[in-house]
Every structure is written in structure tokens, then in C-alpha cells.
Amino acid sequence: MNRPCSPRRSAIALSALALCAQAQTSAGDAPQQLDAVIVTGQGRTQQLQSVPIAIQVLGADQVRKLGASNLGDLNAHIPGLDVDANQPTQPRMSLRGIGTSDFGIGTDSPVGIYVDGVYTGKTGGALLNFNDVKRVEVLKGPQGTLFGRNSAGGAIAVVTQEPEFRTSASGLLRLGEHGLRQAEAIVNQPLGENLALRASVVARRTDGEFRDAATGQRAGGDNSWGTRLALRLQVGEATQALLSYEHEKLDQRARPAFGLVRATPAGTPPPFPADPSSYLDPRHAPLLNDVAGDREKRDYDGLTLRIEHSLPWAEFTSTTAYRHFSSLNRQDNDGSNNPALYLATTNVEGNHSLQQEFRLSAKQAAANWLAGVSFYDEHAAQSALVDATTTSLDTLSGNLLGAPLFTAVDQLVAAAGVPGIELLGLPWQERMSNVAHNRAQAIFGDVIWHLTPSTNLTTGLRLTRDDKTFSWFNPLRAAGALDAQLQALDAAGLFPGLVAAGAISQAQADQLRGAMGQNALIATQGASGAPLQVRKRWTDTSPRLVLDHRYGPDLMVYASLTRGYQAGGFNTLQVASGYQPEHVGNVELGLKGQWPAQGLSWSGALFQYRFDNLQTLQLVPASTPGGIPSYQVTISDQKGSGLDLEARWQASAALRLNGTVELLDQTYRHGRASSGEDLAGLPVGTPRARASVGVDYGFAAFGGRAGASLQAAYQSAQRCNPESYVQGQCLSTPNFRVGGPRSRLDARLGWDSPERNWGLALLVTNLQNRHYVEKLWYEAAPMGSGYATLSPGRSASLELRASY
């Protein structure tokens, strides 16, 4: 088992960094003042240390040094942010423990992701690769006043580079383990005095670090490429227009599913129910997946027009955006290549949205204010497909009902002497299709009142109107080959003959014939043979109140009261099942400061929140023997309190240190486990502590500048509850543990030329090569199977960078 980094070892590491910094300073290198970090999280251009919000910012240089290709790669180094990027077209994320596991189009995530101010959604368009990124801002706590209903738990703002009126170009190439090939190229070119073009392309491919034990085929790899084009038009000094187009294409194998039960002979089911104490360690178990055509694909296009115009009394901004993507994710759901367990799912999604926002903002002696209106219109369609065979359904019926359905009928066919009939090994597919039309309008305002030269009061308010139309369609299962066999049996009069002969009763005949013609896998309530459509509307008010005060130029304290709102929605897998709106109230006390002479800046925030009506889509076991587990909405009220700390220290011109910590105590106020057990007062499952610390040291070498950096991350064990075990988020067996503590170490050693126009580097992510079991999945539990997903292992690569 991997040994996690202990708090004691972390303290030793921090002490070593401090001694190193002291030695460097005593050697004559005076501390250097840190560069100011600019953010736009409040809709205004401000210095990070003057913004009364808990914000963590990563610049383009930090993203590059960490070798991060998307938000999932930054996961460990932004304490409080949890991103499960195993399925890039269906990511899951949370901030400060607030998130959702719903993969359907019926809801939004309470963590909003915005690229240049444009909402990206929560499914196929949410987790795109970084392409010419300037910085990533992670705003913790409700951000509903400025960002809207999709940021009840927080917001992630990705800011890209704009075209400049100068000629420049850069390129990057990485080659590494598991067949890594990554290339990036950027060109910036003025097209006249008032027009500039910026073009970039990013391509990334890996073969995957795992191999299927039966086929030898690689698994767990990446394959994507994207391009971004931006035009900047400057019309005099007062007006600027920026038009950008982004395209990304992803086409790779689906995430690998590592089986938990020992392999049995083909066609022979494993013991049922599975015994968790005998589970295989997924990190060392053979990978055996048998889904034909397993694939994860996405085509994404985005077009944005931003117009900025300076009025005599205010700044006007218009943002118009169109987004479209189509995605497919077909994957193994039993972690086995045994035909007796075959189960696969396919998610097919299409989405296009149009967004429009108008803003006015101004800085005046009495106040700094902004006001705006926004409009959002989205059309989405999704089909969830479940594939099995009559052989795996035979296992299912044998385990749950005590009689293998298709084997029993085959035996009756043989006894009756009907030739040419074989009911096993035939394909079976069920489908749930959904269509959504979501519209939202909002009016918002935010004013920073300058009460005194040192004290500000921020008041904000957003009024939102949501209008959602949603439909479900759960048609009869598709099993053409089986239907042909059943028609032959009906023509031969098998069941009437057996009843007449007294072999079975009429009730048994009806039950056998009916069971082979009805749905068995997608357990829904109120399913019908035609689409059912529902329309819901909600209205909400999201206020914001912040008081901040400066004690001199280098210390600010603040207190805030904010309210977040998450619009209601629908459960894609249960007909006529919906979500009511969710609300979170957050109180925060914070301070931000700097000691310029020592090159140190720091911030801290104490927070406490209450989340009402949090609704999560979970796989719930059947309440009666012989039932199929189903995805259902579970409702709970939660509360959390915690502490965010961040520090940056430029100890000298050569040495820079950074550290970020989040402590969180998140518990249920009200809620019940799927077993019916009361969860009130129990932990939700979020780890109590997360931390990331790093050191960056530069020195002269070979006529240029060399640099070495280390970034370490630690996460304490999940605080489990009865539902955590049901959902596969916690488990302790003789062979492995789910939900234990985690640690990670990323390293970089590089050299830049004297002019800094080219350089070489060695990057290693997850230096210790520690795999962790992310989650256990139990869709195939009624067949006696289950599988796990793993975190990525080590990746080492060589980087060549050039620019002019």
C-alpha cells in the first residue's frame, strides 16, 4: 500500500524550505518584493490583495511548470477544489465540499466554470484543455451576485491571452512516458494599426499507462487537439472589439474499469453477492474490459464577441457567446471480460447555447459600481444507453430471482423439441432519452461604497428568472435478434403447448414471456412509451454584503455575507422526477496582507456556510430483494466551517516559496442514507485538510538561467459516513483502502537561454508514482461484479520551449 505523506513529514519539509530560504538570504541575496497579481473576479481589474474574496490564482507560468493540460491536472494544488477528470465529457467537481455527482443535462453544477466570462456548463463543454491561458482564478464561496446561479459553491474563471499590437510567436513540445506527445504553438501578428490577430493550437496524445491483460491494448490514454483564433479591433481610444473562435476535438479510449472480483471461467458468474473482503486491489488487478467500440469523443466549438466602449461617465461591455458541442462516452461497467457479466453504458449528448450580457461600470469618488443584464438560452439532448446480453441478464435474474431466465426457457425449448432456438448470447439495449430547453434572465448590480479612505462597503444583488422545459422518453428495450427467436417460439406455440401439457401454469407462461419483452435495466418511475414533458420556473434573489477596512497600505481585513442559488432541475433517469432550487448562505471573515521588505504576501479566511436542499443523484440499491438499483435524487441539508490560508514568499531573487491550506468541517444537518439511517451530525465525507506547498529556485548555469521547483500536495482521509460506503467513496479491505489520505509530488528541472527565448526542462508529475482508488462503482453489483477507477500515475517528460 502507498504510504501517504504525514503531517510530521510535511512540517519537516516546510522547515527545510525555511532553512534554505534563510541560508539564501544570509548569503547576500536580499528579499525581493513580489509582483502584483491582477484579477478580474469582481468584474473589475484589481490587485489580488485588495479583493475581499478568498481567491487562488495560477498564472500561465505556474500552469506550464506543473505540466497541467486542464483543470483536472491542477486538482491537487488548489486545496478545496476537487475535480474528477476520469471522464472529460462527464467531469465532477466541487469547491469547499459543495458539488454534484449528477451527470445528466437536467441540472447545473454549483461550481461554475467561465472562460473569458462565458459559462461553459457542467458536462461535455466544461473540462477543456488549456489553450493560450493567461491565468486561472478560483473564487471560493458563493459568487451568485456577479457570476449567476451556477456558482453557489464557487466559480472558476479561466482568462485567455488577448491579441497584442506586436509580432511574437512561441512553441512548446513535450515528449514523455506512455507515449506522451504534446505540442503547442502561438502566433501574434498585427494586421495594421488597429487590428491584431492571435492564433494558437494545442495537441496532446498519450498511449495510456495501462494494458488490457487479454488483448494487450493500451488504456487510459489521451488524444485531443484544439485551436483558438482571436481578432482584436481598436477603434480609436474609446472602443475595442474582440472576436474569438475556439475549436477542440477529443477522440480517445474510454476510461479503464478495473474489476474487483476474481475472474471466473467465461460464461460462469462469480459468487453472489460479492464479498468486499475478497476484492482484488485495483492498482494491481489485471485490466479486463470487453466493450466493443469503447470510446470517449467530443467536438466543441465556441464563438465569442466582446465589445468594450468608454462612455464619458462609464465603461460599457457587451459579451455575446455561442457554444456548441456533441459528445459520446461508451465504456465498460463491469470491469470484466466475462460474457456472464457484460454491462456497458453509452452517453450521447448534444448541446448548443447562446449567451448575452451587457455591463456598465464606473469608478467614482463615492463608489465603484457596475450593473448589468444577462440572457442565457440552451438546447440540450441526451441519451443514456445501457447494453447487456441475454447471457448477462441470465446472471442477473439468477442472482436476484433465483432462476436464470433465458437458461430456463432454453431448457423448456429443448424439452419441447423446438429446433433452431438459442436465447443466450443475444444483444439487449435499453435507452433513456432527454431533451432540455433552459432559459435564464438576470439583472444585477454591485457597488463598492467608499465610506472612508480606508473602509469600503460592497452591496450587491442579482435577480434571476429560470425557465426550464424537460422531457423523458424510455422506450421498450431493443433486442432484434431475441425478438426474432421469440417470434419463432410464438409461431411454434411453445408456451401454450407447455401449459396444455401441464409443464407450467398459465401464470408462469405469462411471466416468462413478459419478462423477456420488458425493460429490466433502467429502473424508472412512471416510464411510458411516449415522451413526457414538464416545464418549471423559478425566481431568486442573490444578495452580497462585504465590509473591508485597510490598516495602512499592507493589511486589509474584511467580513462578508453572501447567498448562493442553484436553479432547480430534473433527474434524467427518473421520469417526472425533479430538483427544487438549492440555496447556500456563507459568512466569511478574512484578512490579506504583505510585508514588502520581506517579499511576503499572505491571506486567510474563516468561513461558515449552510446549504439547504442539496440534491444529489446517486445509485441507490433496491429496497426489496430481487430489485435493480436505480439512480435517485437524495436530498440533504449540510453545513460547513473552515479556514483558507495562502502565502507567497519571494525570499530572494533566486528563491520563491508558496503554500496553500484549507481546513474544512462539513457535516449533515438533515439527511438520510439510502438505507434509511439518519445522517444528521455525521460528516459528509469531505477530507478535513488539504494543502499544497512549493519551492522554486533559480541559479545561473551554462551562460543562462537554470531553475528547479517542487510542488507537494497532501489530502487527509475522507471522513466517511454510512452512505459513503454505499456510494463506493469509502472502503477498507485487507488488500486496499478507498478514501484514505493522499500525497503527490511534482518536480521540474529546467534551463533557459540568456535571452529567455528558448529553454529545456524535465517535468515529472506524481514523482512517487502513487495510484489511488478514486471510487468504486456498483452498477453491475446485481451480477456479482464491480469495478474501480484510479488516479493517474507518474508521468515524466522532456520539454523544449522557444519564443521570439
For residue 311, pLDDT over 60 is answered with yes
> What average pLDDT does the segment 340-347 reach?
96
> What average pLDDT does the segment 608-631 reach?
74
Q: How many CA atoms lie within 13 A of 642 on its CB side?
A: 28
Reported pTM: 0.89
What does the alpha-carbon distance between residue 390 and residue 406 come to, in Å, rounded to a whole number?
7
Residue 449 pLDDT:
97
Count structural domains, the chain.
Answer: 1
For residue 617, pLDDT over 80 is answered with no
Residue 83 pLDDT:
87
SS3 419: coil
**Are 494 and 516 within 8 A, CB to CB?**
no
Q: How many CA atoms lie within 13 A of 11 on its CB side?
A: 3
More confident residue, 149 or 650: 650
Q: Is residue 12 part of a domain?
A: yes
For residue 3, pLDDT over 90 is answered with no
Residue 335 pLDDT:
95
Residue 655 pLDDT:
96
Pairing of strands 154-160, 133-140: antiparallel
The pLDDT tens digits of the residues spanning 71-120 come to 888 888 999 999 888 888 988 888 999 887 777 888 888 888 899 999 98
Q: Give the least confident one: 172-181, 303-312, 442-451, 629-638.
A: 629-638
> How many other CB atoms sit within 10 Å of the CB of residue 469?
16
> What average pLDDT does the segment 318-343 reach?
96
> What average pLDDT does the segment 19-30 reach?
41
Residue 578 pLDDT:
81
Q: Is residue 502 part of a domain?
A: no
For residue 19, pLDDT over 70 is answered with no
Residue 34 pLDDT:
63
Q: Is residue 501 part of a domain?
A: no
Residue 624 pLDDT:
58
Q: Is residue 511 part of a domain?
A: no
> What average pLDDT does the segment 758-767 reach?
96
The pLDDT tens digits of the residues spanning 190-208 come to 999 999 999 999 999 999 9
- Residue 137: pLDDT band (50, 70, 90) is very high
What percent of the chain lies above the pLDDT cut of 90? Answer: 71
Residue 573 pLDDT:
83
**Are 486 and 495 within 8 A, CB to CB?**
no
The pLDDT tens digits of the residues spanning 352-395 come to 999 999 999 999 989 999 999 999 999 999 999 999 999 999 99
Q: Is residue 442 part of a domain?
A: yes
Q: Is residue 512 part of a domain?
A: no
Host domain of residue 738: 7-479+517-803
SS3 63: helix
- Residue 12: pLDDT band (50, 70, 90) is very low
> What average pLDDT does the segment 618-637 reach?
70
What does the alpha-carbon distance between residue 511 and residue 281 come to, in Å, rounded to a whole number?
41
Residue 528 pLDDT:
67
> What average pLDDT does the segment 158-168 reach?
95
Among 755, 748, 650, CA closest to 64:
748
- Residue 623: pLDDT band (50, 70, 90) is low
For residue 802, pLDDT over 70 is answered with yes
The pLDDT tens digits of the residues spanning 502-555 come to 888 999 899 888 889 888 888 666 666 789 999 999 999 999 999 999 999 999
Q: Is residue 157 part of a domain?
A: yes
Residue 673 pLDDT:
85
Residue 627 pLDDT:
61
Q: Is residue 629 part of a domain?
A: yes
Residue 2 pLDDT:
42
Which of 231-235, 289-293, 419-423 has maximum average pLDDT? 231-235
For residue 183, pLDDT over 90 is answered with yes
Q: Average pLDDT of the chain?
A: 90
List the CATH number of the domain containing 95.
2.40.170.20
Q: What is the residue-wise DSSP string for 151-189? A: -SSEEEEEEEPPP-SS-EEEEEEEEEGGGEEEEEEEEEE
Angle between helices 405-416 and 506-515 (to 10 degrees): 120
